[in-house]
Copies of this chain bind each other. A is one copy, B any other.
Amino acid sequence: MPYFDSASSAPLHPVARQALLASLDEGWADPSRLYREGRRAALLLDAAREAAAEAVGCRPDELVFTSSGTRAVHSAIEGALSGRRRVGRHLVLSAVEHSSVLHAAAALEAAGGSSTEVPVDRSGAVDPAAYGEALRADTALACLQSANHEVGTEQPVARTAEICAAGGVPLLVDAAQSLGWGPVPDGWSLLAASAHKWGGPAGVGLLAVRKGVRFAPQGPADERESGRAPGFENIPAVVAAAASLRAVRAEAAAESVRLRALVDRIRGALGGGLVPDVEVVGDPVRRLPHLVTFSCLYVDGETLLHELDRAEFSVSSGSSCTSSTLTPSHVLKAMGVLTEGNIRVSLPAGTTGAEVDRFLEVLPGVVAGARERLGAPSSAASSPAPRASLVVDALGRRCPIPVIELAKVIGEVPVGGTVTVLADDEAARLDIPAWCEMREQEYVGEEPADRGSAYVVRRLL
């Protein structure tokens, strides 16, 4: 039963399990106590901190264990903003950060601060120069992920760090997706990560703050973890997190080559027409080794997830229909790529070639079946007598229906003619331009309408 969603959470690594079990009997006492049980717990905690610091590339006294990656990100941002509040309350972040970063930015704005989102290109990468342009005299902190969690694109961390350093602004790197694969390039000021992403247990995040970076922990005081992570230390989990990080790193060189080849097999098959009308997104080279994301025209992500789950493949999606808020992934949106029929495949360590082959066998039928049920146009649709322009009413219809309706009628206008799609689904705003890009048609623009919006497309071929 192949689980292809390790970017959400990885199964527990055998070393993590072993270390957890071994430390349950030694790691339950309060490490601040002076009696033998406390001293033993403190020894375990110190050893875990040293191992994690070595993997991160920092000093042990620069690193604390938090209760999650989300807590590490929140504490990093709140602490750095507060530590530099004399400078100002402006935050720079990329448009494709993890929701924990976006939520911290929203909290800053709600409290009277401000933030600037640096855009990304169609591959999902930021331009370091754009960080330089976004820095202001009152910028307290900049944030950049090491690699994107939805499309796998690696960010230019080292160059961005140089530019931030030149501007005197500390850089927080969210390394949640990449830390298991290797250390973050030099230059970061703060770093956050999450153990369950690399096969460690839940309940452990890492927060590293370089010496010399101004940092003022927020919230009620607590003496544990240098005052940066309140609450009783979870030592067995911390030990398991550090041990598994070391183990995963030892395997990373070989495993990344192997998984990169498997991902290339998927990318190659999709690029070679295994499934028609598919867009593979994210940088094809500068990317995480184990992750590939693609979107399928004329089909909804929820149906794909459901049908792949029936076929025993666990994947995730950034399509609007799979989100509780019915809005598409902010990452795909910022990249300007198709959001409908979106699938993220992230292979856990140990995934076999046979599992990937089986996925590639199953996928075409799953997509075709879903398209058939929605009445999606085939690639060679018949063309009735052309009319100069057409209006398609897709009001009240959800993704991918507006795009399906557009595709069905584009052949009914002459080259140079227009189709206007009336739609009130949020995903249409992203997916109609994306369809035009994929189909080499011209996206004229969006016009206001009595209900929803009117999206105008000109037929070019």
Contacts and interface: CB of A to CB of B under 8 A. Distances in A.
A295 interface: no
Interface string A25-45: 101111001111110000000
Contact of A68 (B37, B202, B230): B230
A295 B305 CA distance: 65
A24 B17 contact: yes
Contacts of A305: 34-35
Contacts of A104: 220
15 contacts: A5-B30, A11-B29, A12-B25, A24-B201, A27-B202, A28-B196, A28-B202, A33-B314, A34-B305, A35-B315, A36-B312, A104-B220, A196-B232, A202-B235, A237-B237
Interface string A57-72: 0000000000111110
Nearest to A308: B35
A352 interface: no
Interface in A220-264: 220-223, 230-237
Interface string A1-30: 101010011111000010011001101111
Contacts of A100: 220, 222, 230
Interface in A271-318: 305-306, 309, 312, 314-316
Nearest to A3: B37
Interface in A104-142: 104, 106-107
Contacts of A12: 24-25, 28
A202 B233 contact: yes
A232 to B, nearest CB: 5
A84 interface: no
Given A3-B29, A67-B234, A100-B222, 4 more contacts: A1-B36, A12-B28, A37-B314, A77-B220
A196 to B, nearest CB: 6
A9 B232 contact: yes
Given A67-B231, A196-B28, A236-B201, A35 B107 contact: no
A324 interface: yes
A74 interface: yes
Q: Which of A30, A38, A203 has most B Cβ within 10 Å?
A: A203
Given A230-B70, A232-B69, A236-B201, A223 B28 contact: no
A306 to B, nearest CB: 7
A37 B312 CA distance: 10
A221 to B, nearest CB: 5
A68 B34 contact: no
Interface residues of A, number: 65
A452 B8 CA distance: 60
A387 interface: no
Contacts of A322: 34
Contacts of A17: 24
A103 interface: yes
Contacts of A25: 12
A315 B29 CA distance: 12
A194 interface: yes
Nearest to A16: B24
Interface string A200-226: 011101000000000000011111000
Contacts of A194: 232
Given A8-B30, A69-B231, A107 B205 contact: no
B234 A203 contact: yes
A194 B314 CA distance: 34
A306 B21 contact: no
A181 to B, nearest CB: 19
Q: Which of A10, A67, A107 has most B Cβ within 10 Å?
A: A67
A222 B70 contact: yes
B202 A74 contact: no
A310 to B, nearest CB: 10
A33 B5 contact: yes
B28 A8 contact: no
B306 A219 contact: no
